[in-house]
């Protein structure tokens, strides 16, 4: 079944469906059983929140969605670690692709499995709009084995309209959304200025009209389920390339501040640290744990 990104036809937020067959017929989700629709090469176009994973956290506008795999036959308990990629981790790899390519994902909520759940519909399935995957990482499930968690943010009507227009022209892309986590902008600015906008990983300064450019990067991600602190010890001055690599686990830091390439364990450099900037070792450790390094 072909994968289509963004909103589809006349189906708008709040549209309801009797069962998964109706969802597939409408083109909103391509799988009859799997929660994640899509593939690793193009990304995830839709997910179904069914209550099958007890590690999900759903506040409607912010959804922490547990990836696929690793449960027992009855789907009542996590028995093995989830993976990204390969036959057992295709859906998770598709979610990672959507995160990296900023692809909007349709979120569909299935029928509630307990009375206390007031967010999912009582019966049937409901399309709840487009979300973006802000971040992802691994963490122990409540049963022990590791699961992958994807923090998803609901698009506003304006963001949704723009995302749909972009998706119609280039399905692999969608605009970056407004970050909904309140960050201490002045704190990040002070770190970047301390380094004269030099990247602490590679040492380059990007010159632009009017000066230099760098990005304030949090080592341990803010927001649930990570809840990293917004402190100077958790912020680095990085170039865009190394910011992306850090945020996606392609590089990480050792306890002695070596910059390590995750793909093969090669030490690339020593993190540049100026006097007065104390890096929080707990944030470094939690970043490694998030990406299983």
Report the distance separating Cα 239 and Cα 217, nearest Å: 9
Q: What is the pLDDT of residue 158?
A: 67
Report the distance separating Cα 262 and Cα 251, nearest Å: 5
Predicted TM-score (pTM) of the model is 0.68
* Mean pLDDT to the nearest integer, 200-213: 87
Q: What is the pLDDT of residue 169?
A: 46
**Under a CB-based contact definition with an 8 Å cutoff, are residues 284 and 235 in contact?**
no
**Residue 178's pLDDT band (cuts 50, 70, 90):** very low
Is residue 167's pLDDT more than 60?
no
Report the distance separating Cα 172 and Cα 253, nearest Å: 31
Q: Is the peptide bond before 225 cis (omega within 30 degrees of 0)?
A: yes
Task: Report the share of the chain in percent with pLDDT over 70.
Answer: 89
Q: What is the pLDDT of residue 172?
A: 40
Residue ranges and CATH numbers for the domains of the chain are 16-169 (2.30.280.10), 185-290 (no CATH)
SS3 242: helix
Is residue 180's pLDDT more than 80?
no
**Under a CB-based contact definition with an 8 Å cutoff, are residues 119 and 111 in contact?**
no
Considering only 176-180, 227-231, 248-252, which range has the smallest mean pLDDT?
A: 176-180
Q: What is the pLDDT of residue 179?
A: 37
Q: What is the pLDDT of residue 177?
A: 36
Q: What is the pLDDT of residue 174?
A: 36
Q: pLDDT tens for residues 111-142?
A: 988 777 889 999 999 999 999 999 999 999 99
Q: What is the pLDDT of residue 176?
A: 35
The per-residue pLDDT of the chain, averaged, comes to 87
Check residue 21 and give left, alpha or beta (phi > 0: left; psi -120 to 50: alpha): alpha
Report the distance separating Cα 71 and Cα 81, nearest Å: 9
Q: What is the pLDDT of residue 184?
A: 60
Is residue 181's pLDDT more than 60?
no
Report the distance separating Cα 156 and Cα 61, nearest Å: 9
Distance of CA 78 to the CA centre of its chain: 21
Q: Residue 31 is encoded by which pair of tokens?
A: 């799988």
């Amino acid at each position: 079944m072909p994968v289509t990104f963004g909103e589809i036809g006349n189906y708008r937020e709040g549209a309801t469906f009797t069962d998964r067959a109706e969802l597939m017929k409408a083109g909103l989700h391509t799988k009859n059983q799997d929660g994640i629709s899509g593939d690793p090469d193009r990304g995830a176009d839709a997910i179904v929140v069914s209550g099958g994973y007890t590690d999900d956290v759903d506040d409607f506008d912010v959804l922490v969605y547990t990836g696929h795999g690793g449960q027992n036959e009855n789907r009542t308990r996590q028995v093995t670690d989830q993976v990204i990629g390969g036959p057992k981790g295709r859906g998770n790899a598709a979610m990672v692709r959507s995160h990296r390519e900023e692809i909007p994902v349709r979120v569909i909520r299935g029928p509630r499995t307990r009375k206390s759940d007031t967010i999912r519909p009582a019966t049937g399935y409901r399309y709840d709009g487009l979300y973006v995957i802000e971040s992802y990482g691994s963490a122990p499930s409540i049963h022990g084995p590791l699961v992958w968690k994807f923090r998803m943010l609901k698009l506003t009507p304006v963001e949704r309209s723009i995302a749909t227009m972009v998706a119609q022209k280039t399905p692999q892309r969608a605009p970056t959304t407004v970050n909904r986590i309140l960050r201490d902008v002045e704190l990040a600015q002070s770190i970047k200025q301390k380094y004269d906008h030099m990247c602490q990983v590679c040492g380059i300064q990007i010159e632009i009209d009017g000066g230099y450019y760098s990005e304030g990067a949090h080592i341990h991600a803010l927001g649930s389920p990570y809840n990293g602190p917004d402190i100077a010890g958790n912020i680095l001055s990085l170039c865009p390339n190394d910011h992306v690599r850090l945020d996606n686990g392609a590089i990480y830091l050792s306890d002695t501040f070596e910059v390590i390439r995750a793909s093969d364990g090669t030490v690339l450099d020593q993190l540049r640290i100026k006097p007065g900037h104390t890096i929080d070792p707990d944030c470094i450790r939690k970043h490694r744990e998030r990406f299983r390094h």
